[in-house]
Amino acid sequence: MNNEVSLCMIVKNEEKALPQCLNSINKLVNEIIIIDTGSEDKTS
């Protein structure tokens, strides 16, 4: 059995926190989906 894990995140104004978050989870998931909900910083 081949299990795959997808991470789906809804974010807003997470420019500073997002890189560390993604680096910490990157090796544990097969797919990362990020939905930006109108950030005013450089998140998008």
Going from N- to C-terminal start, the domains of the chain cover: 6-36
Residue 1's pLDDT is 74
Instruction: Round to whole Å and give the CA distance between 29 and 37.
Output: 22
Q: What is the DSSP letter of 10?
A: E
Phi, psi dihedrals of residue 2, rounded to the nearest 5°: -110, 105
The pTM of this model reads 0.79
Pick from 10, 20, 11: which is nearest to 41 by CA? 11
> For 1-44, how does the pLDDT look when each residue is reduced to its tens digit (9 = 90+)?
789 999 999 999 999 999 999 999 999 999 999 999 999 999 98
Sign of CA dihedral 15, 11, 41, 26: positive
DSSP H stretches of helix in 1-44: 18-25
pLDDT reported for residue 18: 96
